[in-house]
């Protein structure tokens, strides 16, 4: 029996959501070999630079921060979801982390808000923060660079 | 006092590009919300801005109404255009947009709710005097066989939360019905979050004819003619045309009048499509469902009416009156659309994602091509396999078919498998030429 469109998408979805990087499946009728793209290395790798847009962004939006050089051995903490970037738990509170601060993989570095849902983001890497990329309360895209970290 | 100045496009592929183009013509700014797989898509590149709303799987990006609204707010948009598929008929998105002061380009949430409930829509249609197929809901605690015997076999088991050809099963007899009812319920629960199913008479020789309607916020409702979408595979449309061939004027008038009556009765707003099944043996027509979105096949209506339906959607959502009356809607010529898909017909229509080493469609005078792909583009494996819509518009039906055949035969595509040969064989078939296709024709023809 051939696989349907849904089957193929379902398989891809399952693999995408799992920790597997490679899957080999063989039955009498077919064999399937899937290798997942190396997207989540440890430490995190810099997100791919978005393609420059040919036209100017709408006037009252800040343009996305330019990507600083990444050939310097720095790791990048990227946004695990789209949302509003907050550096502190609440207005007036000190930021979770600042430049020069030390982080461990489970250190909370910021909050990303999606429709009133506050999502804590952890560093995922050990090291020292060398840069905070977005402005506080700015919309960040999925995969956008948030912090540069000098791994240690 | 226009309220809409910047539109968030919550979709991908050709329809996202179509919306960006319509906005550009209207002088509106656009922001396209893409998944990680579509960052470099043509729609994202053509828009004023693009934001990546999530990872490639649609469940984590295009189907997340919270991310869509957050992204629309964060980029200063006033309105969201959901396109078709994904969240286009989601009452949740409509309600969330409304709660956050955004205009959803489509009907209000309560109309979407009603339209999404195929059982309630049936009841409302019957109440509005629109014929519906014999059928009824079969709750788990009631004997379905009595209801089934009244309807007669074979019959369809449909999910109340389904629609668009999804959640439908055919039962030929009592045994088969008994076997598939509980499966149908659990599948409906899993797929639509609603376990209710109903039985409906199966029309063996059926044509699928639908009516495009437009309703403004000031009570005006008009139709923009019908489309025939009988060339289907597994309830998915392959070729669509306007006007419907061999439709007698009395039936056409009845269909369009019923569509307008139904839309008026339920307080419909914006563009919508009322779908009917036509019994090719008896000539009777029955209401099927109403769709709250721009349809994939909207270009055939645009071709024969000369109206930009996406612009009309935005215009209505902005509170403007329609600006034309029923008698102003005039029809010119014949239009046929075919869907070029990246799929391997020989291997059970398996999707064929990949990178296009070559893709070029001839530039013909009477041909419109809606696509977001070009040579070098990649068709990701996560979404539907639609590559391009080819729409021919000519004086007569035969001439229209010939334009499409020429385009299909001369187009170049390499890198993925496509259904091009299948489209050619359908368009060149005598049955298609005669306009006698019914919804089961394609599947019988390709066995």
Please give the full DSSP string across B236-251, using - where no structure is assigned.
EEEEEEESPTT--HHH
Q: Which CATH number fits domain B6-105: 3.30.70.2190, 3.40.50.20, 3.30.720.210, 3.40.50.300?
A: 3.40.50.20
Q: Which CATH number fits domain B134-201: 1.10.287.130, 3.30.1490.20, 3.30.450.80, 3.20.190.10?
A: 3.30.1490.20
Is position B293 annotated as part of the catalytic site?
yes
Give the pLDDT confidence of A52-87 residue by residue, as tens digits: 444 444 434 333 333 444 557 899 999 999 999 999
* Residue A47, domain member (yes or no): no
Q: What integer best gives the mean pLDDT of chain A? A: 75
Domain count, chain A: 2
Contact residues, chain B, for A58 at CB < 8 Å:
6, 29, 31, 48-49, 75-76
- Round to whole Å and give the CA distance between B338 and A59: 40
* Residue A92, domain member (yes or no): yes
Closest by Cβ to B48, choosing from A13, A16, A58: A58
Closest by Cβ to A142, choosing from B36, B66, B96: B36
DSSP 8-state symbol, B201: E
CA distance B367 to chain A (A): 28
H or E element in which residue B170 lies: strand B166-171
User: What is the structure's pLDDT at B163?
Assistant: 80
CA distance A86 to chain B (A): 13
- List Cβ neighbours of B282 (8 Å cut-off, separation of 6 or more): none
H or E element in which residue B444 lies: helix B441-445
Residue B255, classified by CB atoms within 10 Å of its CB into exposed (0-12), middle (13-18) or buried (19+), is buried
A27-30 — which CB contacts under 8 Å span 24+ positions? A29/A1, A30/A3
Same domain, A90 and A146: yes
Domain residue ranges of chain B, discontinuous segments joined by +: 6-105, 134-201, 206-445
Instruction: Look at B75 and A139 and tell me if their CB atoms are within 8 Å.
Output: yes
B93 CB near a chain A CB, below 8 Å? no
Q: Do domains B134-201 and B206-445 have the same CATH topology?
A: no
* CATH number of A134's domain: 2.40.50.100
Strands, E, within B186-251: which ranges? 197-201, 206-215, 221-233, 236-242
Ranking A23-37, B101-115, B228-242 by mean pLDDT, the lowest is A23-37
Q: Is the backbone peptide bond immediately before B213 cis, with ω within 30 degrees of 0?
A: no
* Residue A42, domain member (yes or no): no
Model pTM?
A: 0.86
**Residue of chain B minimizing CA distance to A17:** B57
CA dihedral sign, ordered B241, B247, B250, B254: negative
Same domain, A85 and A146: yes
User: What is the structure's pLDDT at A11?
Assistant: 64
User: What is the structure's pLDDT at A3?
Assistant: 59
DSSP 8-state symbol, B345: G
Place of tokens 């997942």: A36
Ranking A63-67, A118-122, B204-208, B397-401 by mean pLDDT, the lowest is A63-67
Place of tokens 């989601």: B90
Same domain, A86 and A136: yes
Cβ contacts below 8 Å, chain A against chain B, sum to: 98
Q: Residue A12 is part of which domain span? A: 5-35
Query: Residue B327 is encoded by which pair of tokens?
Result: 């008698």
- List Cβ neighbours of B48 (8 Å cut-off, separation of 6 or more): A53, A55, A56, A57, A58, B6, B29, B30, B31
User: What is the structure's pLDDT at A21?
Assistant: 59
Q: Which CATH number fits domain B206-445: 3.40.50.300, 3.30.470.20, 3.50.50.60, 3.40.109.40?
A: 3.30.470.20
User: What is the structure's pLDDT at B165?
Assistant: 78
Same domain, A82 and A30: no
Nearest alpha-carbon partner for B215 in B86, B331, B346, B313: B313
- Among left, alpha and beta (phi > 0; psi -120 to 50; other), residue B129 is left
Instruction: Look at B48 and A3 and tell me if their CB atoms are within 8 Å.
Output: no
H or E element in which residue B443 lies: helix B441-445
Query: Residue B57 is encoded by which pair of tokens?
Result: 């799987």
- List Cβ neighbours of B360 (8 Å cut-off, separation of 6 or more): B375, B411, B412, B413
Share of chain B above pLDDT 70, in %: 100
Contact residues, chain B, for A60 at CB < 8 Å:
76
User: What is the structure's pLDDT at A152?
Assistant: 87
- List Cβ neighbours of B183 (8 Å cut-off, separation of 6 or more): none
User: Do the beta carbons of residue B11 and residue B62 sit within 8 Å?
Assistant: yes
> pLDDT at residue A38 above 50?
no
Give the pLDDT confidence of B184-216 residue by residue, as tens digits: 999 999 999 999 999 999 999 999 999 999 999
CA A117, A122, A123 angle in degrees (round to 5)? 145
B362-369 — which CB contacts under 8 Å span 24+ positions? B362/B406, B362/B407, B362/B410, B362/B411, B364/B392, B364/B403, B364/B406, B364/B407, B366/B392, B366/B393, B366/B394, B366/B399, B366/B400, B366/B403, B367/B391, B367/B392, B367/B403, B367/B404, B367/B407, B368/B299, B368/B303, B368/B392, B368/B393
Give the pLDDT confidence of B16-47 residue by residue, as tens digits: 999 999 999 999 999 999 999 999 999 999 99
> pLDDT at residue A34 above 90?
no
**Residue of chain B minimizing CA distance to A82:** B53
Instruction: Look at B381 and A9 and tell me if their CB atoms are within 8 Å.
Output: yes
CA distance A114 to chain B (A): 6
Q: What is the ipTM of this complex?
A: 0.85
* Residue A62, domain member (yes or no): no
């Amino acid at each position: 029996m051939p696989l349907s469109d849904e089957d193929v998408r379902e398989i891809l979805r399952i693999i995408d959501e799992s920790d597997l990087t490679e899957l080999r499946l063989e039955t009498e009728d077919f064999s399937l070999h899937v290798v997942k793209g190396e997207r989540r290395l440890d430490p995190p790798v810099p997100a791919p630079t978005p393609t420059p847009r040919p036209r100017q962004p709408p006037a009252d939006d800040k343009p996305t921060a330019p990507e600083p050089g990444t050939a310097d051995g720095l790791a990048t903490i990227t946004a695990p979801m789209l949302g509003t970037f907050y550096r502190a738990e609440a207005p007036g509170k000190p930021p979770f982390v600042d430049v020069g601060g030390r982080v461990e993989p489970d250190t909370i570095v910021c909050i990303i808000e999606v429709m009133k849902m506050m999502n804590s983001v952890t560093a995922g890497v050990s090291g020292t923060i060398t840069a905070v990329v977005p402005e506080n309360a700015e919309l960040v895209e999925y995969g956008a660079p948030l912090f540069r970290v000098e791994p240690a | 006092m226009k309220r809409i100045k910047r539109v968030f496009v919550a979709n991908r592929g050709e329809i996202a590009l179509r919306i960006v183009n319509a906005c550009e013509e209207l002088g509106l700014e656009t922001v396209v919300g893409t998944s990680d797989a579509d960052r470099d898509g043509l729609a994202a590149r053509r828009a004023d801005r693009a934001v990546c709303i999530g990872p490639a799987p649609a469940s984590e990006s295009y189907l997340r109404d919270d991310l869509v609204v957050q992204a629309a707010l964060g980029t200063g948009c006033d309105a969201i255009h959901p396109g078709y598929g994904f969240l286009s008929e989601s009452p949740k998105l409509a309600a969330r947009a409304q709660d956050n002061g955004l205009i959803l380009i489509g009907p209000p949430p309560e109309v979407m709710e009603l339209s999404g409930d195929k059982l309630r829509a049936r009841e409302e249609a019957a109440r509005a005097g629109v014929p519906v197929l014999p059928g009824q809901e079969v709750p788990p605690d009631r004997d379905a066989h009595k209801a089934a015997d009244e309807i007669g076999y074979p019959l369809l088991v449909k999910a109340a939360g389904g629609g668009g050809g999804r959640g439908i099963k055919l039962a030929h007899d009592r045994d088969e019905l008994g076997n598939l009812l509980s499966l149908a319920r659990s599948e409906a629960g899993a797929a639509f979050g609603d376990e209710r199913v109903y039985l409906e008479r199966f029309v063996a020789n059926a044509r699928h004819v639908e009516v495009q309607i437009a309703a403004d916020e000031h009570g005006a409702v008009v139709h923009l003619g019908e489309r025939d979408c009988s060339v289907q595979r597994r309830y998915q449309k392959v070729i669509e045309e306007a006007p419907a061939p061999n439709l007698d004027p009395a039936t056409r008038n009845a269909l369009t009048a019923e569509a307008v009556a139904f839309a008026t009765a339920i307080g419909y707003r914006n563009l919508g499509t009322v779908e009917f099944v036509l019994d090719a043996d008896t000539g009777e027509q029955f209401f099927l469902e109403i769709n709250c979105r721009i349809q994939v096949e909207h270009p055939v209506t645009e071709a024969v009416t000369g109206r930009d339906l996406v612009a009309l959607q935005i215009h209505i959502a902005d509170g403007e009156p329609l600006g034309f009356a029923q008698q102003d809607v005039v029809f010119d010529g014949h239009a046929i659309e075919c869907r070029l898909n990246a799929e391997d017909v020989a291997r059970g229509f398996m999707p064929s994602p990949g990178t296009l080493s070559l893709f070029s469609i001839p530039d013909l005078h009477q041909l419109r091509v809606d696509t977001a792909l070009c040579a070098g583009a990649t068709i990701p494996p996560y979404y539907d396999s639609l590559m391009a819509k080819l729409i021919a518009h000519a004086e007569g039906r035969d001439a229209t078919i010939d334009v499409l055949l020429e385009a299909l035969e001369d187009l170049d595509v390499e890198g993925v498998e496509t259904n091009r040969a299948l489209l050619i064989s359908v368009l060149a078939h005598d049955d298609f030429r005669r306009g006698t296709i019914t919804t089961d024709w394609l599947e019988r023809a390709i066995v």
